[in-house]
């Protein structure tokens, strides 16, 4: 089973986009997206220096554009990807790349959101001098306790023994002077404390814009940074993108979900290398591929052919008719104390229909669009996997 992943801020390097401009149509796409992003993506991706592209307002649109360009080179007809890709995920701003790649939002919507995300996060970062530090190794519980002791936030939990702490420069200086035992600290060259309370004003700005973003349910399972859950609702996906700006990235849980899905291959779009490195350490035995330049495309296609599985359940069903499991666990059909939900039941939009319970969490699922219940695909108490369809609903206003 194949998973596509998209990296986050910090993965960019000077000139990394230059080789992709040799492909037909890429310059035209970038010119159009540059107009949407109000940013010269070609210039920043080919000529700008490292300090320039470190700017949050530049780095984030550049990352999303590069990931989508490479994905379209690999899958010129997106429907091909929907048939063979088992799931998709992005790290931090890479979630917008994944959202566009799964068809949940358009590329234009992704570029608009990332433009405003980058600007709003840069403005939020300018209010207080903040930064981030990577912690490598050490006992996980001790590391988290030490982060909390100094009032910092575990902004990225990347798994494989890597956690990123974020907060004010004063808090980080004290943390560096008293590090967790057996851990190595590395200050990151970032412009602020992303995925923390310091980004709350950016969330407010994003929430205002997101209400008008057209969203569709993703065509393939989308794994969310918040908790590693498979998100099936396009509207929920957009809401999560907004809240994630000030919420920790749980990449460790994303990789856990990939393992539960049965992943055999992970392909990372440009600028690739960071996430495949984490996967190698966290998921031994899973093959990885870092797509860096167009010279890698033939090998990438062979990788897709080895790991892609045609005809996964969501690809073969109209996804907006399904309720799917967000994570592995046990399904509880219906709502305690509520009326039975049998085939033929008419559901109003937003009706609670079932819950999935695991040691990780419990989540109640709703029929977002409403409609007529056609069939349950599971029984009460059944074990379920992430992204597994649970209930099929016929939308209102359509004939059977």
Residues designated as active site = 92, 195
Q: Which residue in 297, 288, 239 sits closest to 268, CA to CA?
A: 288
Return d(Cα 266, Cα 248) in angstroms, integer.
23
Q: Which residue has the tokens 């998209």?
A: 6
Q: Which residue in 368, 313, 239 sits closest to 353, CA to CA?
A: 368
Would you say 130 and 116 are in contact if contact means Cβ atoms under 8 Å apart? no
Token pair for 33: 């997206």
Return d(Cα 269, Cα 97) in angstroms, integer.
9
Helices in the chain by DSSP H: which ranges? 26-37, 41-46, 50-54, 56-74, 78-84, 94-101, 107-127, 140-149, 169-177, 200-210, 234-244, 251-261, 274-282, 297-307
Q: Which residue has the tokens 């559901």?
A: 347
| Length of the chain as a residue count | 400
Would you say 18 and 45 are in contact if contact means Cβ atoms under 8 Å apart? yes
Return d(Cα 98, Cα 48) in angstroms, integer.
25
Q: Which residue has the tokens 């539960």?
A: 260
Return d(Cα 79, Cα 41) in angstroms, integer.
26
Return d(Cα 330, Cα 372) in angstroms, integer.
24
Q: Which residue has the tokens 């401009």?
A: 21
Angle between helices 56-74 and 297-307 (to 10 degrees): 70
Token pair for 272: 């690739």
Return d(Cα 297, Cα 70) in angstroms, integer.
9
């Amino acid at each position: 089973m194949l998973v596509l992943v998209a990296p986050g801020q910090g993965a960019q390097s000077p000139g990394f986009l230059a080789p992709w401009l040799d492909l037909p149509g890429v310059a035209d796409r970038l010119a159009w997206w540059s107009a949407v992003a109000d940013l010269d993506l070609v210039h920043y991706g080919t000529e700008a220096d490292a300090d320039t592209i470190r700017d949050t307002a530049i780095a984030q649109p550049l990352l999303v554009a590069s990931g989508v360009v490479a994905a379209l080179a690999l899958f010129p007809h997106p429907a091909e990807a929907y048939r063979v890709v088992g799931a998709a995920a992005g790290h931090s701003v890479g979630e917008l790349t994944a959202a566009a790649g799964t068809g949940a939002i358009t590329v234009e919507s992704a570029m608009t959101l990332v433009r405003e995300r980058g600007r709003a996060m840069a403005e939020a970062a300018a209010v207080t001098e903040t930064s981030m530090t990577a912690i490598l190794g050490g006992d996980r519980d001790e590391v988290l306790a030490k982060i909390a002791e100094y009032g910092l936030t575990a902004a990225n939990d990347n798994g494989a023994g890597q956690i990123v702490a974020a907060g004010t420069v004063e808090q980080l200086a004290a943390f560096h002077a008293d590090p967790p035992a057996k851990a190595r600290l590395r200050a990151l060259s970032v412009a602020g404390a992303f995925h923390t309370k310091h980004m709350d004003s950016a969330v407010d700005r994003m929430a205002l814009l997101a209400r008008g973003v057209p969203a569709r349910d993703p065509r393939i399972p989308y794994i969310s940074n918040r908790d590693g859950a498979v998100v099936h609702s396009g509207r929920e996906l957009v809401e999560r993108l907004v809240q994630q700006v000030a919420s920790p990235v749980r990449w460790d849980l994303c990789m856990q979900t990939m393992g539960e899905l049965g992943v055999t291959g992970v392909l990372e779009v440009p600028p690739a290398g960071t996430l495949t490195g984490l996967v190698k350490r966290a998921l031994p035995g899973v093959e990885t591929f870092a797509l860096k330049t167009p010279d890698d495309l033939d090998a990438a296609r062979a990788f897709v052919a080895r790991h892609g599985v045609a005809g996964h359940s969501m690809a073969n069903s109209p996804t907006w008719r399904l309720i799917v499991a967000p994570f592995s666990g046990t399904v509880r059909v219906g709502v305690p104390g509520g009326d039975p939900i049998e085939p033929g039941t008419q559901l109003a939009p937003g009706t609670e229909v079932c819950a999935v319970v695991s040691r990780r969490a419990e989540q109640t699922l709703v029929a977002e669009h409403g409609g007529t219940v056609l069939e349950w695909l599971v029984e009460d108490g059944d074990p379920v996997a992430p992204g597994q369809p649970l209930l099929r609903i016929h939308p209102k206003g359509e004939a059977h």
